[in-house]
Structure 1
Amino acid sequence: MTTLAKDPGRDLRLTRGQRRIKKILCNWQLYLFLLPALAYFIVMRYIPMFGLQIAFRRYKASEGIWGSAWVGMKYFDQFFRGPNFVRLLTNTLMISVGSLLLSFPVPIILALLLNQMPSKKYKKLVQTTIYAPHFISTVVLVGMIFLFFSPRNGIVNHLIAALGGERIHFTGEPSWFRPLYIGSEIWQNAGWGSIIYLAALSGINPELHEAAIMDGANKYQRVWHIDLPGILPTVVIMFILSAGKVMTVGFDKAYLMQTSLNKSTAEIISVHVYQRGLLENQPSYSTAVGMFESVVNLVLITTVNFISKKVSDSSLF
């Protein structure tokens, strides 16, 4: 029985396209697993982009998308020249940038602290405690905020009064909206966000720590010189993803926390889109504003990714 010898130069004679097709056929099982995710993004993300042209038309449901009159940049101009544009943009950026600067480092710090805990039982207890708030719904969370910070019955104001201070109307004063929003965001999501950094820390070679201990390094030095450099690529990727969501502030939480007293700081772009698009039935205007948000996010994530690629070896694309 003879065996045909494999031609070593055969793969080199193939074109780039042929080599790519051959690679796909050799790993068809892996590509088959990708089909559900690919189908989801095509159906739920890309096909709906067809409706973006509503932003450039005076859309009427009775006439359909193609039958509606083309108005060009009218609704973008209406939003940019509107009396609330500066206030909406400022409120959105103050919350999103504040959340990015204050809440982004917290999961990293939590992961580093948890990784240094010697007791596994205590570590699991702490992890369960800090993960739990993530599973609280937004409606319940906002209800807790109004309950705890109530000017009359809130436990926070009771504590302030007991210490001799004056009660504060936290949910009514505009200056307190952003601290309450960002603070509750950190409390709810910091523990859950630390999971990915704990996973990155688990991939660091323990022999590096053993060698550092033999050289006399303490815990702080090992964290600074081993743990932080080890998770730096993960930190960079997460920061790039977070930068791409700067304009996307959670609508539901901001809308539920909004009152007639704090509206000057609580009204953000996503809430404005909901009010004009659904409550006032202006789909073309709300689509234009939503498209503006997406374009800004795209520019930000591309810019931050470009800078990261130039400065370090970590990037999304």
Structure 2
Amino acid sequence: MKQVHATALVNQPIQERKSYREASFLTFVLKNRALYIMLLPGILFFLVFRYVPLIGSVIAFKDYNIFAGIWRSEWVGFQWFEHLFTYPQFSRLIKNTLLISLYQIVFAFPAPILIAVLMNELKSVLYKRTIQTVLYLPHFLSWAIIYGLAYMMFSEQAGMLNQLVQAWGGEKLQILQSQEYFRTLIVGAGVWKEMGWSAIIFLAALAGISPSLYEAAKIDGANRWKQFLHITLPGLLPAISILLLLKIGNIMDVGFEQVYVFLTPLTIPVGDVLDTYSYRMGIISGQYSLTTAIGIFKSVIGFVLLVLANKVSKSTTGEGLY
């Protein structure tokens, strides 16, 4: 009977089978219409604020004039990309951007993983909740406040650290104005601000690991380290892979506010990145076509790196974004 039915389906005209699939899809949508209605605001948000603005990217190929508008501005092709690539300090911008991103991947990315693993070992629920709350709080502070705290700690005039150094007979340290400490300060502030909040995803992944696996490992004589290597780490691997791939895809974005609030004329040689250069050219100088070209350049580089990293991840760990 099944064989006869399958043969009949194969012999049906293509148009009839297409109509059947469309009817089945409409039936499925109507059956789950409540879910689709709840999904509608999210779809509209991405359409209005993510996809429609992409049309404006065309000004990267035009000499954009705010009075002429997007479509009536003069077409100049790749002029603004050439302007970016021939900028005398372009290599410095790329170097600073990639170095800060690399430091963030090496030092800031593992921090929430470590915090999540340590908090997962806490047995007291009250103590665990308290630690989580304390670690989450910095995420809600603006970067202006973070810089204010850093100024109170490291300022040469009134910083707590320099007061202690001076009390012990040492010389004051110019941490906020020093090129030597700038990148360390940026990355360290980012770790302190975001590690608790970022740990939420890894805590959720740890909650999905069955306790029976740890119980079986204890029976087999596995210590805490072996339990981490053979149970905890494999359980975290999907979340680690996805977040690391997303971080690699955003490697050209180091966080404008994070860098800008700490940037001074003395630290520009080591702190000037694509985002701060884009701010100076776009907001201050009004060269919107150039800043759009910078954005497209960053997006293309991020996309290429994401595709390559995803292939490597799929071939090595079996995990990937797609």
**TM bracket (short chain):** over 0.9
Match of 1:267 in 2: 272
Cα distance in 2, alignment partners of residues 79 and 162 from structure 1: 49
Is residue 105–residue 247 contact of structure 2 (8 Å, CA) maintained in 1? yes
Cα distance in 2, alignment partners of residues 163 and 227 from structure 1: 45
Match of 1:57 in 2: 62
Say whether residues 1:42 and 2:52 are aligned partners: no
Match of 1:132 in 2: 137
Match of 1:74 in 2: 79
Letter in 2 for 1:189: E
Q: Determine helix, strand or coil for the equivalent of 1:168.
A: coil
Letter in 1 for 2:29: I
Match of 2:179 in 1: 174
Q: Deviations over 1:120-158 (max 9, x none)?
A: 222112111111111111110111112211013211222
Say whether residues 1:29 and 2:34 are aligned partners: yes
CA shift at 1:11, angstroms? 8.8
Letter in 2 for 1:114: M
Within a 5 Å distance, the mapping from 1:76-155 to structure 2 comes to 76-155=81-160
Say whether residues 1:203 and 2:224 are aligned partners: no
CA shift at 1:46, angstroms? 0.6
Q: Alignment partner for residue 294 of structure 1, among 299, 302, 308?
A: 299
Q: Determine helix, strand or coil for the equivalent of 1:65.
A: helix
CA shift at 1:208, angstroms? 0.7
Cα distance in 1, alignment partners of residues 131 and 229 from structure 2: 23
Match of 2:191 in 1: 186
Say whether residues 1:159 and 2:161 are aligned partners: no
Unmatched 5+ stretches in structure 1 = 1-7
Cα distance in 2, alignment partners of residues 98 and 194 from structure 1: 18
CA shift at 1:314, angstroms? 1.6
Letter in 1 for 2:231: I
Unmatched 5+ stretches in structure 2 = none
CA shift at 1:168, angstroms? 1.1
> Which deviates more from structure 2 when the two are superposed, residues 146-155 or residues 24-33?
24-33
CA shift at 1:96, angstroms? 1.1
Aligned residues: 311
TM-score by length of 2: 0.91
> Which deviates more from structure 2 when the two are superposed, residues 169-178 or residues 21-30?
21-30
Is residue 190–residue 258 contact of structure 2 (8 Å, CA) maintained in 1? no
Match of 2:281 in 1: 276
Q: Alignment partner for residue 237 of structure 2, among 229, 232, 241?
A: 232
Q: Determine helix, strand or coil for the equivalent of 1:69.
A: strand
CA shift at 1:41, angstroms? 0.6
TM-score by length of 1: 0.92
Match of 2:258 in 1: 253
CA shift at 1:234, angstroms? 0.9
What is the CA RMSD across the aligned residues, in angstroms?
A: 2.0
> Which deviates more from structure 2 when the two are superposed, residues 29-38 or residues 171-180?
29-38
Cα distance in 2, alignment partners of residues 97 and 138 from structure 1: 21
Letter in 2 for 1:57: K
Q: Determine helix, strand or coil for the equivalent of 1:172.
A: coil
Cα distance in 2, alignment partners of residues 117 and 217 from structure 1: 19
Letter in 2 for 1:56: F
Cα distance in 1, alignment partners of residues 94 and 72 from structure 2: 33
